[in-house]
C-alpha cells in the first residue's frame, strides 16, 4: 500500500479516480487533481512547501517532486506527463506539457503550455520555457517550436493513455 503521510499538519489530498502505486510516497502539503496516476517508486514530498497537481496528470516511476522551504512550490497543470526518473524541484509545469525520461527541472523554472522537455535535459533554475517549445540538453536549451495544438494533442493522448494503464490495476 502506498505511503500517504501527514507532516506538519498537512495531509495529502487526492482527487477522484486516482491511481497510486503500492510503493509510491505522498507526504505533506500535496493536492492531486482528478484522474491522476502516481506510479511505482514516485515520491511527492510536500514536507517543506506545497505541491499542487492538476487533473489527468501522470507521474511515472521513480520520479521525485520536492521544493525549497519557504522559497519554492510546485504547480503542475492539467494533462501533464512526467516521465520515468524525473526530478522536479520547485517548478511550474503548465497544461499539456511533457517532461521526458530522466529530465531535471529546477526551482522557479516555468515550463510553458504544450512544451516538451527532452529526455535527460536539465532545466536550470529560473528558466522560462515558452509554450510549444522543445528544450533539450544539459543545460537545456531551445531546440525548436512545434505547433502548439499538435503538441498539446500528442501530450494529452499520452496523459490519457496513462489513465488507461492505471485502469488495468483495478482488475
Angle at 162 between CA 158 and CA 103, to 5 degrees: 65
- Using a pLDDT cut of 90, give the percent of the chain over it: 89
Confidence class for position 1, pLDDT limits 50, 70, 90: confident
Tens-place pLDDT, residues 56-109: 999 999 999 999 999 999 999 999 999 999 999 999 999 999 999 999 999 999
99 in Cβ contact with 125 (< 8 Å)? no
The whole-angstrom separation of Cα 148 and Cα 168 is 31
Q: Which residue has the higher pLDDT, 136 or 157?
A: 136
Q: SS3 for 170?
A: helix
What number is the average pLDDT over the span 9-19?
97
- Distance of alpha carbon 80 from alpha carbon 60, whole angstroms: 11
* pLDDT confidence band for 149 (50 / 70 / 90): confident
18: domain range? 3-170
**Residue (of 71, 86, 78) closest to 53 by Cα position:** 78
- Domain tally, the chain: 1
User: How large is the average pLDDT for residues 111-140?
Assistant: 97
Does 31 score more than 70 pLDDT? yes
Residue 171 has pLDDT above 70, yes or no: no
pLDDT band per the 50, 70, 90 thresholds, residue 124: very high
C-alpha cell at 37: 496516476
SS3 label, residue 123: strand
**CATH at residue 36:** 2.160.10.10
Work out the average pLDDT over 114-128.
97
Q: Do 80 and 100 form a contact (C-beta atoms < 8 A)?
A: no
Q: What is the pLDDT of residue 151?
A: 85
Amino acid at each position: 500500500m502506498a505511503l500517504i503521510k501527514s507532516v506538519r499538519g498537512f495531509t495529502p489530498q487526492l482527487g477522484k479516480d486516482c491511481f497510486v502505486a503500492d510503493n509510491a510516497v505522498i507526504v505533506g502539503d500535496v493536492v492531486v487533481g482528478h484522474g491522476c496516476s502516481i506510479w511505482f517508486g514516485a515520491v511527492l514530498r510536500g514536507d517543506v512547501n506545497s505541491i499542487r497537481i492538476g487533473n489527468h496528470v501522470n507521474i511515472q516511476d521513480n520520479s521525485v517532486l520536492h521544493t525549497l522551504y519557504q522559497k519554492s512550490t510546485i504547480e503542475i497543470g492539467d494533462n501533464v506527463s512526467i516521465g520515468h526518473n524525473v526530478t522536479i524541484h520547485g517548478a511550474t509545469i503548465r497544461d499539456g506539457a511533457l517532461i521526458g525520461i530522466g529530465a531535471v527541472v529546477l526551482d522557479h523554472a516555468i515550463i510553458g503550455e504544450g512544451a516538451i522537455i527532452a529526455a535527460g535535459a536539465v532545466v536550470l533554475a529560473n528558466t522560462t520555457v515558452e509554450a510549444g517549445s522543445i528544450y533539450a540538453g544539459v543545460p537545456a536549451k531551445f531546440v525548436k517550436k512545434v505547433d502548439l495544438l499538435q503538441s498539446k494533442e500528442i501530450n494529452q493522448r499520452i496523459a490519457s493513455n496513462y489513465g488507461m494503464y492505471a485502469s488495468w490495476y483495478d482488475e
